[in-house]
Amino acid sequence: MDTYILDLGAINGKICVTIQRKKVKNVHLKVYRTLKVFLNLSPNVPDKWIIDFLEKRKEWIDKQIAKYKAASGYNNLNDLKNGSSTQFLGKDIRIIQKNSEDDETKIVAEEKTIAIYLKDENNLSKFNKIFQSWWRKQAYSIFSEELTFLYNKIFKKYSIPFPTLQIRKMNTLWGSCIKKRNKIVLNEYLLKADRLCIQYVVLHELTHLLYDKHNADFYNFLTIQMPDWKQRKNRLDKEVVNGL
């Protein structure tokens, strides 16, 4: 059995669960933000057990899908409103607006929320402008930190000049390397990923300063420096927002 159709009811309807049989000790059930559901388990688990397990977990799956559907703004940070949701360093957060009693405009980031304090509660344009500025500054600060760390740890000994960092909004790439200009360009939406995924992208682009193409030398170097890069890339591709 490679798939199982699970009926979640009138709201979320029927969904397809992909069954992946691997050499694993435990059962792993995952609902992704793309609304795809995967179940990873041992090859010798009988089909009847799988069906019973999924039927028992139906309510939990339904809640996860409903949560992701209800969370607006995952892929678009340009048209936010009070209560929009996104990811920040691998965690789901909600962006909320609060009234500023002293006319001071500020942003306060907490574990699950980013609060934007404004005097004018109806000024969505200013709400978005403040958030965009804050997000870009956070991206530059965090990406610069990871770039500096990896450069000093790995690349400095190759006598490569420290590269320039540019932050951009990109539709299809997490990052790019312009070797002839000694420049690393990173997608500001990469800030949605956790630190380990960010480190992978930074290392990937820095490695292009040594190897232009994605050849055996490139991947051998990448594997030596970051043995788990494939796992990080897989998490980035599956768990961080798609549709860039």
Domains within the chain, CATH numbers bracketed = 3-70 (no CATH), 84-134 (no CATH), 139-239 (3.30.2010.10)
Of 236, 230, 222, 234, the closest CA to residue 192 belongs to: 236
pLDDT value at residue 17: 95
Strand order through the sheet with 91-99: 84-88, 91-99, 113-118, 106-109
pTM for the complete prediction?
A: 0.69
Question: What gap in Å lies between CA 97 and CA 240, rounded to an integer?
Answer: 25
Decide: 77 and 135 in contact? Cβ < 8 Å: yes
pLDDT, one tens digit for every residue, the chain (244 residues): 689 999 988 777 889 999 999 888 889 998 886 788 999 999 989 999 999 999 999 999 988 887 766 554 444 576 777 878 788 998 888 888 887 776 677 888 888 898 888 877 677 888 888 899 999 999 999 999 999 999 999 999 999 999 999 999 886 688 999 999 999 999 998 999 999 999 999 999 999 999 999 999 999 999 999 999 999 998 887 766 543 3
